[in-house]
């Protein structure tokens, strides 16, 4: 049994125009120790999936309409708020995109890390603080004893994200969700953060769900990937296999945006390519058609008349495209 199994998940968001399915019939699994990456443009539902896994969908606006999220066999969509709190930060934890605003400005870093340990492991104040200092050391912030007493505004962006990682890994979670952990950081710092995440994964065996729009990061970090488009899965499978031979035109577009993913720039793709057109608006989510059709070079009438079915290929690759075999 996989560590996490998501089945036919549907998340609806209330908007002024009614409800829109921001996640529409999504199924995937995550194995222990594995890194799975979610890729797609902003607004495609990557972050919503993460928030749903944490039980943190925006109150009164977002809700899980149907489907199941099974963590270690337990369906989180049916778990009580108290049970979800036990899991959050302990078994499943998350680091966010904006290290600048995701840390509380009025508490010290040490306190913010120690707090998780007190909440989930029942450590005493002193023991939690000492452990927090060790964690700060583990995420390679120099002078951990001194820095534990610092406030977020006294740290750089990279250091804050390290502190977030220390906080997320404090209770040795089984799953770490990283929502665009490096988008807000300098390029050099980005590489350091990914190095850190890789090393920590090797030490702890934590599974990682990496949400990103950076195909380079996916190639470096993840074993498998899910490409999302307009709330739906476009393609899923082993990273190397998909980069080598994507079966969904949207995935192909994403990959060709990044030149160094191909060992050799082949003759038929002489220049960088961008995915033309724009993402459909929330109002169009959930229609019975291929939502990528308006931007697709291979579009046929079939694409506009019905939602494409899942098509499976060898090695666990799945693509939701009418023409996947021909790609």
Partner 1 sequence: MTDITPDKQTPRAESPLREAWGMFLRNHAAVAALVVLVLICFTAVLGPWLYPTDPFEMVWAPFSPPGDNGFLLGTDYLGRDLLAMIINGARVSLLIGLAAALVSIFIGVTVGALAGFYRGWVEEVLMRITEFFQVLPTLLFSMVLVALFGASLPMITFAIGVVSWTAVARITRAEFLRIRELEFVMASRASGVPNAKLMFGVILPNALPPIIVQSALMVGSAILFEAGLSFLGLTDPNVVSWGQIIGSNRQYILDASYTVTLPGLAIFITVLAISLVGDGLNDALNPKLRQR
Partner 2 sequence: MNVLRTFLVRAGYAVVLLTAVLVLNFSLMHLAPGDVADTISQSMGGADQELLDQIRADYGLDQPFLVQLGRYVGGVLQADLGFSFFYNEPVTKLILERLPATLLLVFSAQILALIVGVVLGVISAQKPNGIASYLVTFTALFGYSAPVFWTGILLLIAFSLQIPIFPVAGMRDVTVDGNFWVEAADIARHLVLPMITLASVFLALYSRLARASMMEVLGSDYVRTAKAKGLSPREVVYKHALKNAVSPVITLAGLQFSAVISGAVLVEAVFSWPGLGTLAFQSIIARDTPTILGILFFSALVVIVGNLLTDLALRLVDPRVGGRK
Q: Which is nearer to partner 1, 16 or 260 (CB)?
A: 16
Q: Which is nearer to partner 1, 21 or 55 (CB)?
A: 21
Identify any residues that bridge with 214 across adjacent strands, giving them in sequence order: none
Residue 116, binding choice from partner 1, partner 2, none, Cβ under 5 to 8 Å by partner class: partner 2
Residue 90, binding choice from partner 2, partner 1, none, Cβ under 5 to 8 Å by partner class: partner 2
Q: Which is nearer to partner 2, 22 or 116 (CB)?
A: 116
Residue 131, binding choice from partner 2, partner 1, none, Cβ under 5 to 8 Å by partner class: none
Instruction: Tell me the three-class secondary structure of the chain, residue by residue.
Output: CCCEEEEEEEEEEEECCEEEEEEEEEEEEECCCCEEEEECCCCCCHHHHHHHHHCCCCCCCEEEEEEEEEECCEEHHHCCHHHHHHHECCCEEEECCCHHHHCCCCCCHHHHHHHHHHHHHCCCHHHHHHHHHHHHHHCCCCCHHHHCCCCHHHCCHHHHHHHHHHHHHCCCCCEEEEECCCCCCCHHHHHHHHHHHHHHHHHHCCEEEEEECCHHHHHHHCCEEEEEECCEEEEEEEHHHHHHCCCCHHHHHHHHCCHHHCCCCCCCCCCCCCCCCCCCCHHHCCCCCCCCHHHCCCCCHHHHHCCCCCEECHHHCEECCCCHHHC
Rounded least distance, CB 105 to partner 1, Å: 24
Residue 178, binding choice from partner 1, partner 2, none, Cβ under 5 to 8 Å by partner class: none
Q: How many whole angstroms separate alpha carbon 166 and alpha carbon 323?
A: 45
Q: Which is nearer to partner 1, 66 or 281 (CB)?
A: 281
Q: How many whole angstroms separate alpha carbon 53 and alpha carbon 47?
A: 10
Rounded least distance, CB 69 to partner 2, Å: 16
Rounded least distance, CB 59 to partner 2, Å: 10
Residue 283, binding choice from partner 2, partner 1, none, Cβ under 5 to 8 Å by partner class: partner 1
Q: Which is nearer to partner 1, 208 or 282 (CB)?
A: 282
Binding site residues, partner 2, CB under 8 A: 54, 56, 84-90, 93-94, 96, 98, 101-107, 115-116, 119-120, 150-151, 153-154, 164, 167
Rounded least distance, CB 19 to partner 1, Å: 13
Binding site residues, partner 1, CB under 8 A: 15-17, 281-283
Residue 85, binding choice from partner 2, partner 1, none, Cβ under 5 to 8 Å by partner class: partner 2
Q: Which is nearer to partner 2, 181 or 308 (CB)?
A: 181
Closest CA to 25 of 312, 255, 309, 277: 309
Rounded least distance, CB 22 to partner 1, Å: 14
Length of the chain: 327
Q: Which is nearer to partner 1, 154 or 281 (CB)?
A: 281
Q: Which is nearer to partner 1, 203 or 281 (CB)?
A: 281
Residue 17, binding choice from partner 2, partner 1, none, Cβ under 5 to 8 Å by partner class: partner 1
Residue 256, binding choice from partner 1, partner 2, none, Cβ under 5 to 8 Å by partner class: none
């Amino acid at each position: 049994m996989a560590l996490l199994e998501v089945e036919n998940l549907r998340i609806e968001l209330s908007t002024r125009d009614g409800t829109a399915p921001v996640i529409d019939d999504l199924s995937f699994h995550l194995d222990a120790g594995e890194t799975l990456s979610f890729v797609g443009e902003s607004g495609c539902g990557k972050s919503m999936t993460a928030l749903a896994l944490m039980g943190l969908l925006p109150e009164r606006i977002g809700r899980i309409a149907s489907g199941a999220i099974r963590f270690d066999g337990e369906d989180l969509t049916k778990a009580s708020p108290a049970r979800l709190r036990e899991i959050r930060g302990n078994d499943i934890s998350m680091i966010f995109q904006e290290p600048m605003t995701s840390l509380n400005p009025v508490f010290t870093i040490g306190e913010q890390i120690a707090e998780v340990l007190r909440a989930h492991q029942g450590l005493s104040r002193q023991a939690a603080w000492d452990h927090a200092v060790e964690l700060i050391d583990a995420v390679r912030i120099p002078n951990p004893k001194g820095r534990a007493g610092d406030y977020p505004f006294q740290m750089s962006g990279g250091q804050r994200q390290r502190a977030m990682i220390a906080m997320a890994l404090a209770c040795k979670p089984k799953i770490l969700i990283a929502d665009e952990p490096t988008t807000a950081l300098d390029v050099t710092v980005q590489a350091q953060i990914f190095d850190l995440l890789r090393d920590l994964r090797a030490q702890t065996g934590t599974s990682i769900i990496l949400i990103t729009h950076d195909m380079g990061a996916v190639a470096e970090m993840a074993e498998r990937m899910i490409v999302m488009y307009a709330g739906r899965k476009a393609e899923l499978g082993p990273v190397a296999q998909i980069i080598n031979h994507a079966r969904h035109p949207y995935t192909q577009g994403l990959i060709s945006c990044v030149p160094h993913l191909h060992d050799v720039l082949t003759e038929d793709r002489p220049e960088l390519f961008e995915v033309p057109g724009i993402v459909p608006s929330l109002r169009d989510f959930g229609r019975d058609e291929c939502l990528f059709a308006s931007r697709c070079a291979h579009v046929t009438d079939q694409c506009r008349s019905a939602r494409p079915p899942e098509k499976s290929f060898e090695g666990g690759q799945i693509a939701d495209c009418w023409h996947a075999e021909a790609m």
